[in-house]
Structure 1
Amino acid sequence: MSGLRERKKALTRQALADAALRLFLDRGYDAVSVKEIAEAADVSVPTLFAHFPDGKESLVFDLDADREAELVAAVRDRAPGRTVLQGLRDAFLSRPRPADTEQMHAFMRLIRDTPVLADYFRRMWQRHEGAFARAIAEDVGRDPDDIALIALAHFVLGAVEVSRRSADPAGDLERIFDLLENGWGAALTR
Protein backbone atom coordinates (compact mmCIF):
# COMPACT_ATOMS: atom_id res chain seq x y z
CA MET A 1 0.00 0.00 0.00
CA SER A 2 1.32 3.44 -0.80
CA GLY A 3 1.72 6.06 1.86
CA LEU A 4 -0.32 9.20 2.29
CA ARG A 5 2.31 11.34 0.57
CA GLU A 6 2.36 9.12 -2.55
CA ARG A 7 -1.44 9.07 -2.70
CA LYS A 8 -1.57 12.87 -2.44
CA LYS A 9 1.02 13.20 -5.20
CA ALA A 10 -0.96 10.85 -7.42
CA LEU A 11 -4.18 12.78 -6.75
CA THR A 12 -2.49 16.10 -7.54
CA ARG A 13 -1.00 14.69 -10.74
CA GLN A 14 -4.40 13.34 -11.79
CA ALA A 15 -6.12 16.64 -10.95
CA LEU A 16 -3.61 18.50 -13.14
CA ALA A 17 -4.00 16.07 -16.05
CA ASP A 18 -7.80 16.17 -15.79
CA ALA A 19 -7.90 19.99 -15.60
CA ALA A 20 -5.56 20.30 -18.56
CA LEU A 21 -7.56 17.91 -20.71
CA ARG A 22 -10.84 19.60 -19.80
CA LEU A 23 -9.46 23.05 -20.66
CA PHE A 24 -7.74 21.86 -23.86
CA LEU A 25 -10.88 20.16 -25.13
CA ASP A 26 -13.01 23.16 -24.23
CA ARG A 27 -10.80 25.95 -25.58
CA GLY A 28 -8.02 24.37 -27.60
CA TYR A 29 -4.45 23.64 -26.64
CA ASP A 30 -2.94 26.97 -27.68
CA ALA A 31 -5.59 29.02 -25.87
CA VAL A 32 -4.80 27.56 -22.44
CA SER A 33 -1.87 28.68 -20.28
CA VAL A 34 0.03 26.64 -17.73
CA LYS A 35 -1.09 29.13 -15.10
CA GLU A 36 -4.76 28.47 -15.96
CA ILE A 37 -4.23 24.73 -15.64
CA ALA A 38 -2.56 25.13 -12.24
CA GLU A 39 -5.40 27.37 -11.05
CA ALA A 40 -8.04 24.93 -12.29
CA ALA A 41 -6.34 22.15 -10.32
CA ASP A 42 -5.90 24.44 -7.29
CA VAL A 43 -2.10 24.20 -7.24
CA SER A 44 0.78 26.54 -7.96
CA VAL A 45 2.65 26.69 -11.27
CA PRO A 46 5.83 25.33 -9.61
CA THR A 47 3.77 22.37 -8.34
CA LEU A 48 2.52 21.76 -11.87
CA PHE A 49 6.11 21.68 -13.16
CA ALA A 50 7.16 19.43 -10.27
CA HIS A 51 4.68 16.85 -11.58
CA PHE A 52 5.08 17.57 -15.30
CA PRO A 53 8.62 18.88 -15.85
CA ASP A 54 8.37 18.40 -19.63
CA GLY A 55 5.77 21.16 -19.84
CA LYS A 56 2.30 21.59 -21.17
CA GLU A 57 2.46 18.81 -23.77
CA SER A 58 3.16 16.16 -21.15
CA LEU A 59 -0.11 16.97 -19.38
CA VAL A 60 -1.99 15.50 -22.33
CA PHE A 61 -0.10 12.20 -22.26
CA ASP A 62 -0.07 11.37 -18.58
CA LEU A 63 -0.88 7.70 -19.19
CA ASP A 64 2.42 6.96 -20.98
CA ALA A 65 4.41 6.15 -17.83
CA ASP A 66 4.14 2.35 -18.15
CA ARG A 67 4.26 2.07 -21.94
CA GLU A 68 7.91 0.96 -22.21
CA ALA A 69 7.40 -1.82 -19.65
CA GLU A 70 4.36 -3.01 -21.61
CA LEU A 71 6.36 -3.10 -24.85
CA VAL A 72 9.18 -5.11 -23.30
CA ALA A 73 6.66 -7.46 -21.63
CA ALA A 74 4.99 -8.03 -25.01
CA VAL A 75 8.28 -9.54 -26.20
CA ARG A 76 9.28 -11.40 -23.03
CA ASP A 77 5.87 -12.66 -21.89
CA ARG A 78 4.41 -13.90 -25.13
CA ALA A 79 2.77 -17.30 -25.32
CA PRO A 80 5.06 -20.31 -25.77
CA GLY A 81 5.66 -21.21 -29.38
CA ARG A 82 4.80 -17.73 -30.66
CA THR A 83 7.43 -15.81 -32.59
CA VAL A 84 8.33 -12.30 -31.50
CA LEU A 85 6.13 -10.78 -34.20
CA GLN A 86 3.23 -13.11 -33.41
CA GLY A 87 3.53 -12.24 -29.73
CA LEU A 88 3.63 -8.52 -30.49
CA ARG A 89 0.59 -8.86 -32.75
CA ASP A 90 -1.23 -10.71 -29.97
CA ALA A 91 -0.26 -8.09 -27.37
CA PHE A 92 -1.20 -5.06 -29.45
CA LEU A 93 -4.47 -6.50 -30.70
CA SER A 94 -5.57 -7.77 -27.29
CA ARG A 95 -4.87 -4.49 -25.47
CA PRO A 96 -8.03 -2.87 -24.23
CA ARG A 97 -9.00 -0.07 -26.55
CA PRO A 98 -10.05 3.29 -25.15
CA ALA A 99 -13.79 3.67 -24.94
CA ASP A 100 -15.28 4.78 -28.23
CA THR A 101 -16.80 7.93 -26.80
CA GLU A 102 -17.23 11.47 -28.00
CA GLN A 103 -14.61 12.56 -25.45
CA MET A 104 -12.11 10.03 -26.87
CA HIS A 105 -12.82 11.26 -30.40
CA ALA A 106 -12.36 14.85 -29.20
CA PHE A 107 -9.09 13.87 -27.53
CA MET A 108 -7.78 12.24 -30.71
CA ARG A 109 -8.85 15.28 -32.76
CA LEU A 110 -7.01 17.54 -30.30
CA ILE A 111 -3.81 15.57 -30.83
CA ARG A 112 -4.24 15.28 -34.59
CA ASP A 113 -5.17 18.96 -35.06
CA THR A 114 -2.50 20.42 -32.76
CA PRO A 115 0.90 20.09 -34.47
CA VAL A 116 2.91 20.43 -31.25
CA LEU A 117 0.87 17.62 -29.64
CA ALA A 118 1.06 15.37 -32.71
CA ASP A 119 4.84 15.85 -32.82
CA TYR A 120 5.21 15.31 -29.05
CA PHE A 121 3.12 12.13 -29.29
CA ARG A 122 5.31 10.73 -32.08
CA ARG A 123 8.54 11.57 -30.22
CA MET A 124 7.21 10.15 -26.98
CA TRP A 125 6.09 6.92 -28.62
CA GLN A 126 9.34 6.43 -30.56
CA ARG A 127 11.51 7.06 -27.48
CA HIS A 128 10.74 3.47 -26.46
CA GLU A 129 12.48 2.15 -29.56
CA GLY A 130 15.83 1.39 -27.87
CA ALA A 131 14.44 -0.62 -24.96
CA PHE A 132 12.06 -2.39 -27.32
CA ALA A 133 14.88 -3.30 -29.73
CA ARG A 134 17.08 -4.53 -26.84
CA ALA A 135 14.26 -6.78 -25.60
CA ILE A 136 13.86 -8.27 -29.08
CA ALA A 137 17.63 -8.75 -29.44
CA GLU A 138 17.88 -10.43 -26.05
CA ASP A 139 14.99 -12.72 -26.88
CA VAL A 140 16.37 -13.88 -30.23
CA GLY A 141 20.00 -13.98 -29.07
CA ARG A 142 21.26 -11.21 -31.31
CA ASP A 143 23.42 -8.13 -30.83
CA PRO A 144 21.35 -5.19 -29.51
CA ASP A 145 23.02 -3.01 -32.17
CA ASP A 146 21.73 -5.23 -34.99
CA ILE A 147 20.25 -2.70 -37.40
CA ALA A 148 17.56 -5.13 -38.55
CA LEU A 149 16.22 -5.44 -35.00
CA ILE A 150 16.42 -1.71 -34.36
CA ALA A 151 14.51 -1.15 -37.60
CA LEU A 152 11.96 -3.80 -36.64
CA ALA A 153 11.31 -2.07 -33.30
CA HIS A 154 10.96 1.23 -35.17
CA PHE A 155 8.54 -0.24 -37.71
CA VAL A 156 6.40 -2.00 -35.09
CA LEU A 157 6.06 1.22 -33.11
CA GLY A 158 5.29 3.05 -36.35
CA ALA A 159 2.69 0.44 -37.28
CA VAL A 160 0.86 0.98 -34.02
CA GLU A 161 1.00 4.75 -34.47
CA VAL A 162 -0.25 4.60 -38.06
CA SER A 163 -3.06 2.18 -37.23
CA ARG A 164 -4.34 4.47 -34.46
CA ARG A 165 -5.18 7.06 -37.09
CA SER A 166 -7.15 4.75 -39.34
CA ALA A 167 -10.87 4.07 -39.52
CA ASP A 168 -10.21 0.37 -38.72
CA PRO A 169 -7.25 0.34 -36.30
CA ALA A 170 -7.38 -3.39 -35.47
CA GLY A 171 -7.86 -4.49 -39.07
CA ASP A 172 -5.14 -2.19 -40.33
CA LEU A 173 -2.76 -3.31 -37.59
CA GLU A 174 -3.41 -6.93 -38.64
CA ARG A 175 -2.54 -6.03 -42.24
CA ILE A 176 0.62 -4.20 -41.17
CA PHE A 177 1.74 -7.14 -39.02
CA ASP A 178 1.15 -9.46 -41.99
CA LEU A 179 3.58 -7.28 -43.94
CA LEU A 180 6.10 -7.16 -41.11
CA GLU A 181 5.96 -10.92 -40.53
CA ASN A 182 6.42 -11.77 -44.18
CA GLY A 183 9.24 -9.27 -44.62
CA TRP A 184 11.04 -9.65 -41.30
CA GLY A 185 10.58 -13.31 -40.35
CA ALA A 186 14.08 -14.37 -41.34
CA ALA A 187 15.65 -11.63 -39.24
CA LEU A 188 14.17 -13.16 -36.08
CA THR A 189 15.40 -16.72 -36.41
CA ARG A 190 18.30 -17.85 -34.26
Structure 2
Amino acid sequence: MTPTGRRERKKAATREALAGAARRLFLERGFDQVTVAEIADEADTAVSTLFAHFPGGKEALVLGDRSEREQSLTAAVRERPEGVTILQALHDFLATRGPFDPDSTRQDTRLADLVVATPALRTYARSLWTGCETTLAQVIAEETGSDDFSVRQLARYVLEVPDLAGTEPDPPAALAAAFARLKLAWPGL
Protein backbone atom coordinates (compact mmCIF):
# COMPACT_ATOMS: atom_id res chain seq x y z
CA MET A 1 0.00 0.00 0.00
CA THR A 2 1.47 3.32 -1.09
CA PRO A 3 1.28 6.21 1.41
CA THR A 4 -1.09 8.83 0.02
CA GLY A 5 -0.56 11.97 2.07
CA ARG A 6 2.56 14.14 1.82
CA ARG A 7 3.52 13.46 5.43
CA GLU A 8 3.13 9.68 4.99
CA ARG A 9 5.18 9.77 1.77
CA LYS A 10 7.96 11.71 3.53
CA LYS A 11 7.98 9.24 6.43
CA ALA A 12 8.15 6.30 4.02
CA ALA A 13 10.98 7.97 2.07
CA THR A 14 12.94 8.61 5.27
CA ARG A 15 12.46 5.00 6.42
CA GLU A 16 13.64 3.72 3.04
CA ALA A 17 16.64 6.08 3.00
CA LEU A 18 17.67 4.88 6.46
CA ALA A 19 17.16 1.19 5.67
CA GLY A 20 18.95 1.53 2.31
CA ALA A 21 21.91 3.33 3.87
CA ALA A 22 22.13 0.70 6.60
CA ARG A 23 22.05 -2.19 4.11
CA ARG A 24 24.76 -0.61 1.96
CA LEU A 25 27.03 0.12 4.91
CA PHE A 26 26.47 -3.27 6.55
CA LEU A 27 27.23 -5.13 3.33
CA GLU A 28 30.33 -3.00 2.69
CA ARG A 29 31.83 -3.09 6.19
CA GLY A 30 29.92 -5.56 8.32
CA PHE A 31 27.19 -5.00 10.88
CA ASP A 32 29.44 -4.49 13.92
CA GLN A 33 31.67 -1.98 12.12
CA VAL A 34 28.86 0.51 11.41
CA THR A 35 27.40 2.95 13.94
CA VAL A 36 23.91 4.40 13.99
CA ALA A 37 25.50 7.85 13.62
CA GLU A 38 27.12 6.74 10.35
CA ILE A 39 23.81 5.37 9.08
CA ALA A 40 21.96 8.57 9.97
CA ASP A 41 24.68 10.65 8.31
CA GLU A 42 24.59 8.50 5.16
CA ALA A 43 20.79 8.97 5.00
CA ASP A 44 21.14 12.70 5.77
CA THR A 45 19.05 12.47 8.95
CA ALA A 46 19.60 12.85 12.67
CA VAL A 47 20.25 9.88 14.96
CA SER A 48 17.03 10.75 16.80
CA THR A 49 15.16 10.44 13.48
CA LEU A 50 16.67 6.98 12.96
CA PHE A 51 15.41 5.83 16.36
CA ALA A 52 12.02 7.46 15.80
CA HIS A 53 11.58 5.32 12.68
CA PHE A 54 13.44 2.24 13.94
CA PRO A 55 13.12 2.01 17.72
CA GLY A 56 14.70 -1.46 17.52
CA GLY A 57 17.99 0.14 16.47
CA LYS A 58 20.48 -1.21 13.96
CA GLU A 59 18.94 -4.68 13.88
CA ALA A 60 15.52 -3.31 12.93
CA LEU A 61 17.07 -1.50 9.96
CA VAL A 62 17.79 -4.91 8.42
CA LEU A 63 14.98 -7.03 9.82
CA GLY A 64 12.08 -4.68 10.51
CA ASP A 65 9.78 -5.32 13.43
CA ARG A 66 7.52 -8.09 14.63
CA SER A 67 4.26 -6.56 13.40
CA GLU A 68 5.06 -7.34 9.75
CA ARG A 69 5.79 -10.97 10.60
CA GLU A 70 2.62 -11.31 12.67
CA GLN A 71 0.52 -9.88 9.86
CA SER A 72 2.19 -12.12 7.27
CA LEU A 73 1.87 -15.27 9.39
CA THR A 74 -1.77 -14.51 10.09
CA ALA A 75 -2.47 -13.94 6.39
CA ALA A 76 -0.61 -17.13 5.42
CA VAL A 77 -2.92 -19.19 7.63
CA ARG A 78 -6.20 -17.34 7.14
CA GLU A 79 -5.87 -16.73 3.41
CA ARG A 80 -4.52 -20.10 2.39
CA PRO A 81 -6.18 -21.68 -0.64
CA GLU A 82 -8.88 -24.24 -0.04
CA GLY A 83 -7.41 -27.69 0.47
CA VAL A 84 -4.06 -26.34 1.71
CA THR A 85 -3.27 -27.38 5.26
CA ILE A 86 -2.11 -24.91 7.88
CA LEU A 87 1.33 -26.50 7.99
CA GLN A 88 1.67 -26.40 4.21
CA ALA A 89 0.63 -22.74 4.19
CA LEU A 90 3.23 -21.92 6.86
CA HIS A 91 5.90 -23.87 4.99
CA ASP A 92 5.05 -22.08 1.75
CA PHE A 93 5.19 -18.72 3.52
CA LEU A 94 8.57 -19.38 5.15
CA ALA A 95 9.95 -20.72 1.86
CA THR A 96 9.73 -17.16 0.48
CA ARG A 97 11.73 -15.60 3.33
CA GLY A 98 15.44 -14.96 3.89
CA PRO A 99 17.72 -17.94 3.33
CA PHE A 100 14.85 -20.13 2.07
CA ASP A 101 13.80 -17.91 -0.86
CA PRO A 102 14.88 -19.46 -4.18
CA ASP A 103 14.07 -16.23 -6.02
CA SER A 104 16.06 -13.86 -3.83
CA THR A 105 18.27 -11.23 -5.38
CA ARG A 106 22.02 -11.22 -4.88
CA GLN A 107 21.65 -8.43 -2.32
CA ASP A 108 18.90 -10.32 -0.46
CA THR A 109 21.13 -13.41 -0.33
CA ARG A 110 24.01 -11.33 1.00
CA LEU A 111 21.73 -9.81 3.65
CA ALA A 112 20.46 -13.27 4.69
CA ASP A 113 24.07 -14.44 4.97
CA LEU A 114 24.89 -11.36 7.06
CA VAL A 115 22.03 -12.14 9.44
CA VAL A 116 23.15 -15.74 9.89
CA ALA A 117 26.80 -14.71 10.40
CA THR A 118 26.13 -11.84 12.84
CA PRO A 119 25.16 -12.95 16.35
CA ALA A 120 23.23 -9.76 17.18
CA LEU A 121 21.20 -9.97 13.95
CA ARG A 122 20.56 -13.69 14.31
CA THR A 123 19.38 -13.23 17.91
CA TYR A 124 17.13 -10.34 16.86
CA ALA A 125 15.70 -12.33 13.93
CA ARG A 126 14.94 -15.27 16.22
CA SER A 127 13.23 -12.97 18.73
CA LEU A 128 11.07 -11.50 15.95
CA TRP A 129 9.86 -14.97 14.97
CA THR A 130 9.38 -16.37 18.47
CA GLY A 131 7.64 -13.16 19.53
CA CYS A 132 4.81 -14.15 17.17
CA GLU A 133 3.98 -17.29 19.16
CA THR A 134 0.81 -16.04 20.84
CA THR A 135 -0.58 -14.56 17.63
CA LEU A 136 0.17 -17.67 15.57
CA ALA A 137 -1.30 -19.96 18.23
CA GLN A 138 -4.48 -17.84 18.32
CA VAL A 139 -4.86 -17.98 14.55
CA ILE A 140 -4.31 -21.75 14.46
CA ALA A 141 -6.81 -22.15 17.30
CA GLU A 142 -9.38 -20.08 15.43
CA GLU A 143 -8.87 -22.04 12.23
CA THR A 144 -8.98 -25.47 13.91
CA GLY A 145 -11.47 -24.82 16.68
CA SER A 146 -8.94 -26.22 19.14
CA ASP A 147 -7.16 -24.19 21.79
CA ASP A 148 -5.24 -26.82 23.69
CA PHE A 149 -1.59 -27.11 24.60
CA SER A 150 -0.69 -28.77 21.31
CA VAL A 151 -1.68 -25.62 19.36
CA ARG A 152 0.72 -23.48 21.41
CA GLN A 153 3.35 -26.18 21.09
CA LEU A 154 2.97 -26.27 17.30
CA ALA A 155 3.22 -22.48 17.06
CA ARG A 156 6.44 -22.51 19.08
CA TYR A 157 7.97 -25.28 16.98
CA VAL A 158 7.07 -23.59 13.69
CA LEU A 159 8.59 -20.30 14.83
CA GLU A 160 11.88 -21.95 15.83
CA VAL A 161 12.29 -23.42 12.35
CA PRO A 162 13.63 -20.27 10.62
CA ASP A 163 16.55 -19.99 13.06
CA LEU A 164 17.37 -23.70 13.03
CA ALA A 165 16.93 -24.44 9.34
CA GLY A 166 18.30 -21.09 8.16
CA THR A 167 21.79 -21.94 9.38
CA GLU A 168 22.00 -25.35 7.72
CA PRO A 169 24.15 -25.84 4.58
CA ASP A 170 20.97 -26.23 2.48
CA PRO A 171 18.33 -24.06 4.17
CA PRO A 172 15.42 -24.93 1.81
CA ALA A 173 16.05 -28.67 2.30
CA ALA A 174 16.27 -28.20 6.08
CA LEU A 175 12.99 -26.22 6.00
CA ALA A 176 11.29 -29.02 4.07
CA ALA A 177 12.66 -31.64 6.48
CA ALA A 178 11.48 -29.69 9.52
CA PHE A 179 7.97 -29.38 8.13
CA ALA A 180 7.90 -33.05 7.14
CA ARG A 181 8.49 -33.87 10.81
CA LEU A 182 5.87 -31.38 11.97
CA LYS A 183 3.34 -32.94 9.59
CA LEU A 184 4.00 -36.34 11.18
CA ALA A 185 3.23 -34.94 14.63
CA TRP A 186 0.21 -32.87 13.49
CA PRO A 187 -1.17 -34.83 10.52
CA GLY A 188 -4.51 -33.00 10.40
CA LEU A 189 -2.98 -29.57 10.18
Instruction: Give the aligned residue type for 2:123.
Output: D
In the superposition, the TM-score normalised over structure 1's length comes to 0.85
Report the number of matched residues.
184
The reply to whether residue 111 of structure 1 matches residue 83 of structure 2 is no
Using a 3 Å threshold, how does the CA distance of structure 1 residues 160 and 29 change in structure 2: closer, same or farther? closer
Write the distance in 2 (CA, Å) between the matches of 1:62 and 1:29: 15
Shift of the alpha carbon at 1:32? 1.4
Partner SS state of residue 185, structure 1 = coil
SS at match of 2:12: helix
1:185, CA displacement in angstroms? 2.4
Please give the alpha-carbon distance, in whole angstroms, between the structure 2 residues aligned to 1:91 and 1:117.
Answer: 21
Match of 2:136 among 124, 132, 137: 132
Task: Give the deviation of 1:62 after TM superposition.
Answer: 2.9
Which stretches in structure 1 are left out of the alignment for 5+ residues? none
User: Counterpart of 2:178 in structure 1: which amino acid?
Assistant: I
Q: Are residue 99 (structure 1) and residue 101 (structure 2) matched?
A: no
Stretches of 4+ moved more than 6 A in 1?
none
Q: Structure 1: which amino acid aligns with 2:43?
A: A
Choose the corresponding residue for 1:25, options 27, 34, 41: 27
- Which residue of the partner structure matches residue 147 of structure 1? 149
Determine which structure has more spread, i.e. the larger CA radius of gyration: 1
Question: Are residues 46 and 164 of structure 1, via their aligned partners in 2, closer, same or farther at CA, if it must alter by over 3 Å?
Answer: same
Alpha-carbon displacement from aligned partner over 1:146-175 (angstroms, at most 9, x marks no partner)? 221111011112223333233333332222
Superposed displacement of residue 26, structure 1:
1.5
Q: Which residue of 1 aligns with 2:45?
A: 43
- Give the partner amino acid of 2:141: A
Identity level (%): 45
